[in-house]
Amino acid sequence: MLVAGLATALWLGEDRIIDLFVTAANRHLRTPVQVQKLELSWRADFPRVSILLSNVRIGGSLPLDTAALARVRRLHCSFNAWDVLSGRYHIRTLTVEQGAVQVRLDHRGQPNYFVLRPDTVTADDEPLRFDFERVRVRNVAVSYADSSMRQRYELQAHDLTAALLIAGDTVQVRATGPMRVEGLRVGKDTYFRQRELTVNTALAVNRATRQVRVQPSEVQVGAAVYTVAGTAGWRGPTQLALQLGGKNTDVQSLLALLPPRFSKPLAVYRSEGAVYFGGTVKGELSAKRYPQIDVRFGSRDASFVHPETKQRIEHVFLTGTFRNGPQASARSAVLELSSIRGRLGGKPFSGSLSYRNFHDPYVRLNVRAELDVADALRFYPVAALHQASGQLRIEAKLAGNLRTFRLNPARAAGEASGELQLRNVSLRLCKPNLGLTQLNGSFLLRRNDVAVSNFMGRAGLSDFRLNGLFRNALGWLLLPRQPLRVEADVAARFLNLDELLQAGSSVAATNSAPRAAKRSNNYALQLPANIDLDLNATVQQLRFRRFHARALSGAVRMHNQVLTSPGIALAAAAGRLQMRGALDARQRELLKVSIVASCQQVQLDSLFYAFEDFGQHFITNRHLRGQLTGTAEADMYFGPQLQPLTNKLEAEIRATVRNGELNNFGPAQQLSMLASREQLRHLRFDELTNTIYIQSRTVYVPEMEIRSNVQRASVIRVTGTHTFDQQMDYHLIIPLLPGLRRPVLAGADGGLAKGPDLLLRVWGNEDKFRVAYDRERAVARRREAGGSAPVDTSPAPAANNGGGAAPAARVPAVRSRQPTPTPPHQKKPAQPQPGEYFEF
């Protein structure tokens, strides 16, 4: 009967109760509130009775502000059911469900949350009054944005419960519950990103003095507990006086406070032992000023572990402080780490760090350590290294202004000294895919330069020893795009260029790889743009594919990706070679090599073998003997995998071959009418001199005279062309009576005419070639000898039967070394049929 009576009373008095609620709310509110539906409910907060507001919108207090302060799906204001009998309603519980609250401060620091009238007084005899004793917030997103200070905080209250006690001008609040911090953004950095935490706080708000006193409160993140206590006042600019502390903290909980750019590199590590911090925040917080911050932190006998590699740094002691100074600004801020010591892999390290003036930083660093390189790599993996071993000892002191150092490291006034020693260090690099082993040496730091003493080791099968000076080494190591100049003497017992050039290649040997790249074995040569070299090099042995050299010495310079040498001497192919030139690698897709080389007494067969018969099979190292002396000038071009671009090659070669032999050469066997096959199988000549030109993938051989051991062909004159596609067109003149001369009128031959000659032409390719009588040239010579009109000597297409032949090949104008005729128009001669041979 009692329940039925209460229900009836509520049903009959629902309109009156709602009217009383609306009247009381309007008396306290200074901003408009929109409600879609307002009703009484038993179910929302049973056994209390609730005034249920659905889809509530509360406007902000900023003038001309159209954005809402809050949007709530459901809001319950509950009172005791027995209040119905007395006719006086006391709203004691407030529940907010599923909504969003947006607190904002404009650029002048004016807030939008002044929605309550401060001068409203509720009389004791009012029929409805707000006496909140309990506030509950469920699934409500709260955001705070301060445009003047570039701050934005975003929270999600899962189920936050607050108890309120109002005594005069003082409101006491105690709140507990879980919540999620999406992020606390200050400037460009976001702290507490996506962290679940539990809040347990007690506040006393004095509305008269506009001050909040924070009783010792806790914020729990995992097992770590952060404490805060003090006061905050907002009469005028915000005034803070807070004490901060931490309990059960570790590396993970401390990193949770930091922005990702600070925490991400260290987020994987775990800590054990005592890690502590505490501090104070005092002073004005506004758009113009910051409070003074004084934080102390450190560790006592702590350990830090990489969870994947299980490598540990143990017995770590550290004392640190951070203060933003009397000016409470970045200019007066100081970060100090002192008394750092610990052990990594049983080996000790120690040091200290001072970082002053965050606006214009001045840094002082001392470090001393003995490390096992493998232990250091397991604790702090480096993506560029597969594995490492050996011992490292370092002792260094650095001090100076960072801004000045960044602007001009070479001239920055600062202090830098120290020494780095390597003992049997081995490194396996990822790129290039190469192993550096047996590294030993000393590096002495003096200001910005490093003096290198007896730095030796092996790179794959190659070895090296280096002594010299690295200028601007500190700037190159610590800053991007800084130049490094190396002035050193380099010595090696053995260099394997084949391995070193393959190690730098990034092209995989797949079916889709270009054929040219496969032929070049995926070589690659990349010269760094910010490194200059000035080296004096000596190499006992050098190998590249079949090429073997020894006793190499010379100077090497590099600047702006151009490698030059004024002179390099070496022994190869049983002779001596000297060269000078330049390699231009500024275009990665097109490497240019300009070279001037000379050789003395180089064995022809060894030379052809070392250079793999220059990519052809017509005349090989098995065919040639003799000693080569000469010079060459060439411009060569290569692709990114060092594949030769033969269409761009230009060269001029001046050569003399002494004691030469041509053995088992196929075309020579076709001249059996001149000598026996045994003589033709081993053709010998005392000396051969000529200048050969290479251009447009064609070798031009001007007319030269060969004196051989064949009695009937003791003097042979040869001219012709040979393309890189192995298309040849040679013309031979063999005097049938080499001693015969007869006087004639002065002519092209200086007053002497030769005896009868046998004119031959050899053309085709290395697999299908033909030797035939050169009829066209013979006709041209007879016309010239008879004094007839000049005959057009432009080349004519060669017939398949060999009846016509082009005149002697003319050499091209190569690199303007000397005036020469323009090369003839090139047209591939007709291909001979298999089995064809010499014919008249």
- Which pLDDT does position 752 carry in this prediction? 44
- Which pLDDT does position 713 carry in this prediction? 61
Handedness of CA 192, 194, 196, 202 (dihedral sign): positive
- Per mean pLDDT, which range of 172-186, 432-446, 615-629 is the poorest? 615-629
Name which residue leads in pLDDT, 392 or 663: 392
Question: Using CA atoms, how far apart are residues 423 and 439, in angstroms rounded to an integer?
Answer: 7
Handedness of CA 761, 765, 770, 775 (dihedral sign): negative
Tell me the average pLDDT across 395-409.
88
Q: What is the pLDDT of residues 758-784, one digit of tens each?
A: 888 888 887 787 888 888 888 887 787
The two three-digit tokens of residue 431, written as one number:
């790129």
User: pLDDT band at residue 671, thresholds of 50, 70 and 90?
Assistant: low
- Which pLDDT does position 838 carry in this prediction? 36
Helix (H) or strand (E) holding 69: strand 68-79
Which of 113-117, 398-402, 515-519: highest mean pLDDT? 398-402
Name which residue leads in pLDDT, 286 or 369: 369
Nearest CA-CA partner of 115 in 28, 11, 203: 28
- Which pLDDT does position 559 carry in this prediction? 95
- Which pLDDT does position 741 carry in this prediction? 44
Q: What is the pLDDT of residues 287-299, one digit of tens each?
A: 778 899 999 988 8
The two three-digit tokens of residue 668, written as one number:
């020579």
Mean pLDDT of the chain: 80
- Which pLDDT does position 827 carry in this prediction? 39
User: pLDDT band at residue 828, thresholds of 50, 70 and 90?
Assistant: very low
Q: What is the pLDDT of residues 340-353, one digit of tens each?
A: 999 998 999 999 99
Q: What is the pLDDT of residues 86-115, one digit of tens each?
A: 667 777 888 889 999 888 887 777 778 777
Q: Does 562 score more than 50 pLDDT?
A: yes
Question: How far are the Cα atoms of 58, 612, 783, 792 from residue 779, in angstroms, in the given order?
Answer: 113, 41, 6, 12
Helix residue ranges per DSSP H, 611-726: 666-669, 677-681
Question: Using CA atoms, how far apart are residues 263 and 265, in angstroms rounded to an integer?
Answer: 6
Name which residue leads in pLDDT, 829 or 148: 148
356 φ/ψ angles, rounded to the nearest 5 degrees: -115, 145
- Which pLDDT does position 341 carry in this prediction? 94
Q: Does 634 score more than 50 pLDDT?
A: yes
Q: What is the pLDDT of residues 564-609, one digit of tens each?
A: 999 999 999 888 999 999 999 999 889 999 999 999 999 888 888 8
Name which residue leads in pLDDT, 790 or 405: 405
Alpha carbons within 13 angstroms on the beta-carbon side of residue 536 total 5
- Which pLDDT does position 510 carry in this prediction? 39
Q: How many residues does the chain have?
A: 840
- Which pLDDT does position 520 carry in this prediction? 45
User: pLDDT band at residue 621, thresholds of 50, 70 and 90?
Assistant: confident
